[in-house]
């Protein structure tokens, strides 16, 4: 049973590493030089493959032997559903706002120049409260699921994803500082990263 939890951890670490490599600026530059005009579809196919691999890991994780952290009941299901539901709602808002750009689906209707142009720093709506609302929603969703499904494999999954995301945010913000300069530096000073200010 310990082996199954190690497998889950390794699977998510490998997924995160591959995700980071192919999303890195250096790899994107190499892919653009190699693919030429076809690079316009890079993010789209990258998103498709990332989703398929994510689905494979989740399905595989469900089939592995594990143990329960505690006995589920009505109240844990209710609390978990509220947390996960809130996270899913935040994720839905973010995905609705910039799904086309994140998924690369823009290439189906625009040319390469129009896809490249228009990249701007979003500071309105939910972004006024936190700099990374999609990650906030993700954290609430996965940890809410853990309350509903308190298994060892789910705990390992949540821990790995949380650590990977927090590390990834640091690198992402460095790129944003290079891209937007002082504008993003002010945004960092004024708006919290993940947890919104209550007052």
In this structure, is residue 66 part of a structural domain? yes
**Is 151 in a helix, a strand, or coil?**
strand
Q: How far apart are CA 193 and CA 176, in angstroms?
A: 13
In this structure, is residue 199 part of a structural domain? no
Domain count along the chain: 1
| Of residues 10 and 31, more confidently modeled | 10
Sign of CA dihedral 13, 14, 20, 26: positive
Instruction: Report the percent of the chain where pLDDT is more than 70.
Output: 89
State which of 48-62, 91-105, 107-121 shows the largest mean pLDDT.
48-62
pLDDT, tens only, 50-81: 999 999 999 999 999 999 999 999 999 999 99
Question: Cβ(149)–Cβ(67) under 8 Å?
Answer: no
**122: pLDDT confidence band, cut at 50, 70 and 90?**
confident
Least Cα distance to 147 among 2, 160, 139 occurs for 139
pLDDT, tens only, 151-162: 999 999 999 999
How does the average pLDDT of the chain come out, rounded?
88
What backbone torsions phi and psi does residue 68 show, to the nearest 5 degrees?
-95, 135
Q: How far apart are CA 179 and CA 87, in angstroms?
A: 28
Q: How far apart are CA 82 and CA 89, in angstroms?
A: 10
Q: Which residues contact 173 (CB under 8 A, 6 or more apart)?
A: 131, 184, 188
In this structure, is residue 195 part of a structural domain? no
Residue 162, domain extent? 2-190
Question: Cβ(104)–Cβ(31) under 8 Å?
Answer: no
Q: Which residues contact 98 (CB under 8 A, 6 or more apart)?
A: 122
In this structure, is residue 65 part of a structural domain? yes
**pTM of the prediction?**
0.86
In this structure, is residue 153 part of a structural domain? yes
Least Cα distance to 89 among 138, 54, 157 occurs for 138
In this structure, is residue 198 part of a structural domain? no
Across 2-6, 73-77, 144-148, least confident range:
2-6
In this structure, is residue 155 part of a structural domain? yes
In this structure, is residue 112 part of a structural domain? yes
Q: How far apart are CA 143 and CA 93, in angstroms?
A: 19
Please compute the mean of the pLDDT values over residues 16-20 and round it to a whole number.
90
């Amino acid at each position: 049973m310990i082996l199954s939890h190690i497998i889950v951890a390794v699977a998510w670490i490998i997924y995160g590493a591959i995700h980071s490599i192919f999303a890195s600026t250096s790899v994107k530059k190499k892919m653009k030089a190699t693919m030429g005009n076809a690079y316009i579809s890079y993010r789209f196919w990258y998103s498709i493959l990332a989703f398929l691999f994510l689905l494979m890991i989740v399905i595989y994780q469900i089939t592995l032997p594990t143990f329960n952290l505690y006995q589920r009941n009505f109240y844990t299901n209710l609390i978990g559903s509220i947390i996960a539901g809130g996270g899913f709602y935040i994720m839905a808002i973010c995905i609705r706002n910039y799904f086309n750009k994140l998924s690369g689906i823009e290439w189906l209707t625009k040319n390469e120049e129009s896809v490249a142009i228009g990249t701007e720093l979003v500071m309105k709506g939910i972004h006024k409260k936190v700099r990374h609302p999609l990650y906030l929603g993700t954290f609430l969703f996965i940890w809410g699921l853990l309350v509903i499904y308190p298994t060892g494999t789910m705990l390992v999954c949540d821990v790995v994803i949380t650590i990977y995301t927090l590390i990834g945010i640091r690198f992402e913000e460095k790129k944003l500082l290079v891209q937007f300069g002082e504008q993003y530096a002010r945004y960092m000073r004024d708006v919290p990263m993940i947890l919104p200010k209550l007052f």
